[in-house]
């Protein structure tokens, strides 16, 4: 079994980080494999929702510190070599941010460092009651290198984000819920079931409309209200001509569940 597991069912792709003996700590090959899988899911018309989770009792413990200590990790002494191994343009957090397909993080355990950034990069986070998020970067002499400094202030506000990251604090699942870092907290033994139900519910909607909605939400973070309204209108025009729009109206009038094709 590889370091990343892939499953596709009912238009939902589930990607599972698979180094449970190391709490799914990230290696270079894992990064490459995860990036490729995310790109493939975004391009696959059969995939409408992507779920990211971890095997075992942890989500992701961050970069593998054993590799870092030996100088063989992503931040080794050879800066040129490290740059070649760690191409930020194709790093999973960057790929996640560019994806039009909705992403759901099933936070099954601890998410520290790089794992925190991965979780924050997903559109929706559902946490097991045993899960934790740890911004331990400053305790290790580094900074959130994969999106955390951009994502966290936008999710919880500047002051809360500054306190969390400057102190290197670890947050319980309940604290994450109170701060809005996760959408809900569920019993650990029900996490995968509840996430699957949520993913299938999203996948049952018109995929082009869901993707356009996500695209406009993302663009809206960096543009004026007027500009976003204009871009939304431009997105709306092709949706009016889609088969899914016709099916959506027809199923409403016929009082039945719609059957969307993504066309």
Closest CA to 145 of 172, 115, 122: 115
Residue 261 lies in a domain: no
For the cut 90, the answer to whether the pLDDT of residue 188 exceeds it is yes
Specify whether 172 is located in the same domain as 249.
no
Specify whether 47 is located in the same domain as 89.
yes
Final residue in a domain of this structure, among 203, 221, 236: 203
Which residues are 5's β-sheet partners? 16
For the cut 80, the answer to whether the pLDDT of residue 80 exceeds it is no
pLDDT category at 74 given cuts 50, 70, 90 is: low
Structural domain range at position 20: 4-203
pLDDT at 143: 84
Residue 62 lies in a domain: yes
The answer to whether the beta carbons of residues 4 and 17 sit under 8 Å apart is yes
Residue 259 lies in a domain: no
Distance in Å from the first CA to the final CA of the chain: 35
Residue 263 lies in a domain: no
Residue 258 lies in a domain: no
Q: How far apart are CA 263 and CA 251, in angstroms?
A: 16
pLDDT category at 79 given cuts 50, 70, 90 is: very low
Specify whether 187 is located in the same domain as 215.
no
Final residue in a domain of this structure, among 167, 183, 203: 203
pLDDT at 64: 82
Our count of domains for the chain comes to 2
Specify whether 193 is located in the same domain as 132.
yes
Helices (H), the chain: 28-43, 65-70, 79-85, 92-98, 114-121, 148-156, 158-167, 173-179, 191-203, 207-220, 225-240, 243-253
**Looking up tokens 């094709």, which residue turns up?**
261
Exposed/middle/buried for 84, CB within 10 Å: 0-12, 13-18, 19+? exposed
Task: Check residue 181 and report its DSSP letter.
Answer: S
Specify whether 238 is located in the same domain as 196.
no
Specify whether 14 is located in the same domain as 137.
yes
Specify whether 127 is located in the same domain as 70.
yes
Specify whether 59 is located in the same domain as 99.
yes
SS3 category, 4: strand
Q: How far apart are CA 15 and CA 92, in angstroms?
A: 12
Specify whether 33 is located in the same domain as 110.
yes
CATH number at residue 167: 3.90.226.10
Residue 147 lies in a domain: yes
pLDDT category at 63 given cuts 50, 70, 90 is: confident
Residue 262 lies in a domain: no
Specify whether 12 is located in the same domain as 87.
yes
Specify whether 127 is located in the same domain as 211.
no
Residue 25 lies in a domain: yes
Q: Give tens-digit pLDDT for 139-171.
A: 888 888 788 999 999 999 999 999 999 999 999
Final residue in a domain of this structure, among 203, 222, 240: 203
- Global pTM reads 0.89
For the cut 80, the answer to whether the pLDDT of residue 85 exceeds it is no
Question: 184 Cβ partners below 8 Å, 6+ apart?
Answer: 126, 127, 177, 194
User: Greater confidence, 66 or 161?
Assistant: 161
Bridge pairing between strands 49-54 and 12-17: parallel
The answer to whether the beta carbons of residues 102 and 124 sit under 8 Å apart is yes
Specify whether 120 is located in the same domain as 19.
yes
Mean pLDDT taken over the chain: 90
Q: Give tens-digit pLDDT for 23-47.
A: 999 998 999 999 999 999 999 999 9
Residue 58 main-chain phi, psi, to 5 deg: -130, 150
- As a whole number, mean pLDDT of residues 39-60 equals 96
Half-sphere exposure of 146 (CA within 13 A, CB side): 29
pLDDT at 146: 83
Residue 146 main-chain phi, psi, to 5 deg: -130, 45
pLDDT at 71: 54
Q: Give tens-digit pLDDT for 211-259.
A: 999 999 999 988 999 999 999 999 999 999 999 999 999 999 999 999 9
CATH number at residue 241: 1.10.12
Radius of gyration of the chain (CA): 19
Q: Give tens-digit pLDDT for 86-139.
A: 566 778 888 999 999 999 999 999 999 999 999 999 999 999 999 999 998 888
For the cut 90, the answer to whether the pLDDT of residue 49 exceeds it is yes
């Amino acid at each position: 079994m590889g370091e990343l597991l892939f499953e596709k069912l009912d238009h939902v792709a589930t990607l599972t980080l698979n180094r449970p003996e190391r709490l799914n700590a990230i290696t270079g090959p894992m990064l490459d494999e995860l990036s490729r899988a995310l790109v493939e899911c975004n391009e696959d018309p059969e995939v409408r929702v992507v779920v990211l989770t971890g095997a075992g009792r942890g989500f992701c413990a961050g970069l593998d510190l054993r590799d870092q200590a030996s100088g063989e990790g992503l931040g080794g002494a050879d800066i040129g070599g490290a740059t070649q191994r760690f191409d930020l343009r194709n790093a999973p957090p960057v790929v996640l941010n560019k994806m039009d397909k909705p992403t759901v993080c099933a936070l099954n355990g601890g998410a520290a460092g790089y794992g925190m950034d991965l979780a924050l990069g997903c559109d929706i986070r559902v946490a097991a009651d045993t899960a934790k998020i740890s911004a331990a970067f400053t305790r290790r002499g580094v900074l959130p290198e994969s999106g955390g400094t951009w994502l966290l202030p936008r999710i919880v506000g500047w002051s809360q984000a500054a306190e969390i990251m400057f102190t290197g604090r670890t947050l319980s699942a309940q604290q994450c819920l109170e701060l809005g870092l996760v959408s809900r907290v569920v019993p650990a033994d029900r996490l995968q079931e509840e996430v699957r139900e949520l993913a299938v519910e999203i996948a049952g909607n018109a995929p082009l409309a869901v993707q356009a909605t996500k695209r406009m939400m993302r663009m809206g973070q960096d543009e004026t209200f007027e500009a976003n309204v204009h871009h939304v209108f431009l997105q709306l025009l092709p949706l009016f001509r889609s088969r899914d729009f016709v099916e959506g109206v027809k199923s409403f009038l016929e009082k039945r569940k719609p059957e969307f094709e993504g066309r």
